[in-house]
Amino acid sequence: MKVDDFQLLLCTNGDEVSRQALDYGVWLAELLRAPVLVLGIVEHQENETEVNRLVEETQARLHVLGLHSRVQLDRGRGSLVIARQAKDGGYLTVVGPLGRPIWRRYLQGRSFRRMLSRIETPIVYVQETRLPLRRILLCMGGLGYARSVAQLCIDLARLVMAEITVFHVVEPITLEYPIARTVQEHLNTILDTNTPQGRNLRQAMDDIRAAGVKAELRVHHGNPVHEILNEATKGAYDLIGLGSSYSAHSLRQMYMPNVTAEVAEAVGIPVLTVRLGKEMGQE
């Protein structure tokens, strides 16, 4: 599925922190000329005025741009309302932090993780807008989980003439098996190997270049979260593309770090993520 096949779902619970995501969503809607649903979530009666204000401002901006939009107000817990709405249509969901107090994040975890586990369509998580979009960091785990998000990143890069850096982190070996040893020994020539990582990275590079997008490959060794954060900080990127751990139907997601969530929560750069679904390729 292409990025312009989606409707956009722009979300706010009335907290000012959501304004960054609304701004990004308006920009994305103009770029894609996509229909938009502006979702206002009334979590508490006292914030209904703020919800209405941000929803009305956003719809007015979309109207000025000549874009089709509609508004929906719903009541309930933000992450649940957003996930429920995202299931009802072919949406690309644009959402930011929901303004939770620190004690609540500590006790219940961040809302983004709950949305990530429940939403199967693409999500753009925006803490800070980074526009114009010139450089995209596409993080490839090497096992196919990022194939869907790679296609979306390619589509966006082609539309705005952005560059893509394909980034792969080789984790330290914890179990001795031939493929891991081959990858470790060929960090600088991984594209030449007949490993799953080599094949997936070659395919990604071929797809990007076939779309006429400028690309480079960077391979690092170490902890994936640390390496991605270091690269994102040093590289002046405007968007990070990451596959979802929920693409994996295995026990891996139960005991491995949720790289997507940890990166998205730690950086100010917008993060685009999507599960590997049947509409974009089989797991």
pLDDT tens for residues 84-126?
999 877 899 999 998 754 534 444 446 788 888 889 899 999 9
pLDDT tops 60 at residue 241: yes
Burial class from Cβ neighbours inside 10 Å (0-12, 13-18, 19+) for residue 146 reads buried
Mean pLDDT of 50-58: 97
Q: Find the domain containing 266 and state its range.
A: 135-274
Query: For 173-189, how does the pLDDT look when each residue is reduced to its tens digit (9 = 90+)?
Result: 555 555 555 655 556 66
| Rounded CA Rg of the chain | 19
In a domain, 280, yes or no: no
pLDDT tops 90 at residue 34: yes
Q: Please tell me whether residues 146 and 240 are part of one structural domain.
A: yes
Final residue in a domain of this structure, among 90, 125, 160:
125
Q: At 278, give phi and psi (nearest 5°).
A: -65, -25
DSSP 8-state class, residue 173: P
Q: What pLDDT, on a 0 to 100 scale, did the predictor assign at position 245?
A: 60
pLDDT tops 70 at residue 235: yes
What is the C-alpha to C-alpha distance for residues 208 and 155, in angstroms, rounded to an integer? 9
Which residues, 6 or more positions from 251, have their beta carbon under 8 angstroms from its beta carbon? none
Q: Please tell me whether residues 28 and 146 are part of one structural domain.
A: no
Lowest mean pLDDT among 22-36, 107-121, 131-145, 171-185: 171-185
Specify the CATH number for the domain of residue 200.
3.40.50.620
In a domain, 92, yes or no: yes
Domain count for the chain, please give it.
2
Helix axis angle, 196-210 to 147-160, nearest 10°? 20
Q: What is the mean pLDDT of the chain?
A: 84
CA neighbor of 13 nearest in space, from 82, 106, 109:
82
In a domain, 281, yes or no: no
What is the C-alpha to C-alpha distance for residues 142 and 197, in angstroms, rounded to an integer? 4
Mean pLDDT of 6-20: 94
Cβ contact 164:138 at 8 Å: yes
In a domain, 223, yes or no: yes
Final residue in a domain of this structure, among 125, 157, 183:
125
Question: Over the range 72-99, which residues count as b (16 or more CB within 10 Å of their CB) and which as e?
Answer: eebeeebbebbbebbeeeebbbbbbbbb
What is the C-alpha to C-alpha distance for residues 282 and 57, in angstroms, rounded to an integer? 40
Mean pLDDT of 62-69: 97
Q: Which residue has the higher pLDDT, 254 or 146?
A: 146
Q: Please tell me whether residues 92 and 145 are part of one structural domain.
A: no
Mean pLDDT of 77-87: 91
Q: Please tell me whether residues 150 and 76 are part of one structural domain.
A: no
Mean pLDDT of 55-61: 97
In a domain, 166, yes or no: yes
Burial class from Cβ neighbours inside 10 Å (0-12, 13-18, 19+) for residue 31 reads middle
Q: How many C-beta neighbours within 10 Å does residue 179 have? A: 13
Task: Report the predicted TM-score, pTM, of the whole model to 2 decimal places.
Answer: 0.87
In a domain, 158, yes or no: yes
Q: What is the dihedral of CA 57, 62, 64, 70, to 10 degrees?
A: -90
In a domain, 279, yes or no: no
Question: How far is CA 1 from each of CA 15, 112, 120, 279, rounded to the nearest angstrom?
Answer: 32, 23, 13, 6
In a domain, 283, yes or no: no
What is the C-alpha to C-alpha distance for residues 94 and 124, in angstroms, rounded to an integer? 5
Q: Please tell me whether residues 8 and 71 are part of one structural domain.
A: yes
Q: What pLDDT, on a 0 to 100 scale, did the predictor assign at position 186?
A: 57
